[in-house]
Chains A and B, each alone.
Chain A
Amino acid sequence: MNTIGDMVPYILPGALVTIEISVGAWVVSAVLGLVLALARDSRTPLLSLPTVGSIEVIRAVPQLVVLYIVFFGLSTIGINVDSLTAAIVGLGVSDAVFSAEYYRAGFLTVAHTQRDAGLSIGLSPLQVSRFVIIPQTIPFIVPPLLNSFIGLMKSATLAAAVGAPELLYGARNYMETSGQVAPAAVVIMGLYILATVPLTRVVKVLEQRVRARTRA
């Protein structure tokens, strides 16, 4: 019982930082993903080609390397970022290239005729996306984006590598100061299971609903 009490000051602040990182990175991923998706589908090659290229590259590079580039790389060109910001940006950017694909798949679900109809009543291509296409894709992209959030909660552990005091960082500190590894390991993995399993269930139910709708 005492062990648990000793562990709280290491685990609790860490859990809060983990939530901060995963929510922050998720917002970055969702917003940047939409921008990338629109840029990639743009009819201007000047916009779409570089986007295709960067999506392919970032998708092939491990999150940890993207995180290191943001954290160590930016400081050498004079931009100093703290570990928390680096984690939010690094993990967010790395995830955004996947979100972009989800949005693009979502756009596919809306019939071409709707874009034509929007254009024919005088809306600009961006307005068509904003008012016609995107609202209809929301139910379709919510489940994959929620899956991304679950993934980012787990990826938040990578922030420990650049010294952001998240859950795993706290647990590792506890392991080192107390010399007791097993209790901290059980607690951190238990917390992850408790957080992830119910969320995964929710996403599965949502996915089935979308699937049922598309069959109809």
Chain B
Amino acid sequence: MSELAGWLAILAAGLVVTIELAAATLVLSVILSSLIALMSISPWTPLRFIAHIYVDVFRSIPILALAISVYYGLGAQLTSLGITPFGTAVGVLTVIESAYLAELYRGSLESIRRSQWDAASSVGLGWLSTVRHVILPQALPPAIPVTLNMAIATIKDSSLVSLIAVSEITLVANQLIAETFKPIQVYGLVALLYLVLVLPLSQASRLIEIAVARKLGIRPRTDEERAMRRVSAVADMKAG
């Protein structure tokens, strides 16, 4: 029993790093991806072009490929600039998760009816004011469950940076296994800790999604529509 307590204490330290990684990544991703999503619906072609290229490129690159390239290629320079592996990890995760999140946010923005844009322009609002006063307030509620799903994907993806020497829970577990030679028990515990972290988020996401749909009066009209929505909600959770 005391052995288990010892393991839990060690893994908990890793879990804290995982939470910090995911939180920092999520905050930065929300900012970056909002910007990209707005660019992708803007009336200016070069901005739309940049946004599309960004999404295409960074949704194609595996997180691990980017992480290892940056770590091996720029490790020395980053260290001399005072950037830790943790900072590198947050940077890599943010760049990639933002591409996925931007695409999801674009979906939320485009779900607002065209007539809303027409109405805004007919009362003389410009693009920026239309976005600020008309589109965003309506696009925000459906973006909340999307963001929570992305938080789940980010927590899971953050395990990858164990391979570039960030002491999050997966790396800590590997070190523990190197001492104890008990992979099943340690990884079992790790899986349980991830579950404890993810389950409240996925439940919250599900509840908020239902509440938002009810408030907006969105009711799937057919079985197909309901199914389609389920597929996309599930897919959001795996993203990167």
Contacts and interface: CB of A to CB of B under 8 A. Distances in A.
A60 B62 contact: no
B120 interface: no
B97 to A, nearest CB: 13
List 3 A-B pairs, minimum CB-CB distance, nearest first: A181-B73, A185-B69, A214-B224
B194 A61 contact: yes
Contacts of B35: none
A188 B69 contact: yes
Contact of B61 (A60, A73, A104, A189): A189
Contacts of B174: 68
A197 to B, nearest CB: 5
Interface stretch (B123-131, B136-144, B156-164): B156-164
Nearest to A75: B183
Interface string B82-100: 0000000000000000000
Given A59-B237, A76-B184, A192 B72 contact: no
A176 B143 CA distance: 43
A118 interface: no
Most chain A beta-carbon neighbours within 10 Å: one of B56, B162, B238: B238
Contacts, number: 155
A97 to B, nearest CB: 9
Contacts of A129: none
A62 B224 CA distance: 30
A161 B191 contact: no
B51 to A, nearest CB: 15
Contacts of A200: 56, 59-60
A199 B228 CA distance: 20
Q: Which of A62, A73, A151, A176 has the most CB of B within 10 A?
A: A62
B62 A155 contact: yes
B230 A101 contact: yes
A168 B170 contact: no
Given A57-B191, A102-B231, A185-B65, 11 more contacts: A61-B190, A77-B184, A98-B237, A105-B231, A109-B223, A154-B62, A155-B62, A156-B62, A158-B160, A200-B59, A200-B60
Interface string A179-216: 00110110011001101110010000000001100100
A171 B157 CA distance: 21
Given A61-B156, A108-B227, A109-B224, A168 B68 contact: yes
B231 A101 contact: yes
Contacts of B231: 101-102, 105, 144
B159 A98 contact: no
Contacts of A77: 184
Which residue, A63, A105, A193, has most C-beta atoms of chain B within 10 A? A105
Contacts of B60: 154, 189, 192-193, 195-197, 200
A69 interface: yes
Interface residues of A, number: 56
A10 interface: no
Interface of B: 56-57, 59-66, 68-69, 72-73, 152, 155-160, 162-163, 170, 173-174, 177, 181-184, 187-188, 190-191, 194-195, 197-199, 202, 222-228, 230-231, 234-235, 237-238
Given A77-B184, A102-B234, A157 B64 contact: yes
A147 B70 CA distance: 27
Given A105-B230, A109-B224, A172-B72, A157 B65 contact: yes
A56 interface: yes
Contact of B190 (A65, A106, A171): A65
Nearest to A63: B156
A193 B194 contact: no
A4 B162 CA distance: 30
A211 B69 CA distance: 39
A151 B69 contact: no
27 contacts: A56-B195, A60-B197, A61-B194, A65-B173, A68-B183, A68-B187, A69-B191, A76-B182, A77-B184, A101-B231, A105-B228, A105-B230, A108-B226, A109-B227, A111-B223, A140-B224, A140-B227, A144-B235, A147-B235, A154-B60, A157-B65, A161-B163, A185-B72, A189-B69, A192-B60, A193-B61, A200-B56
A154 B239 CA distance: 11
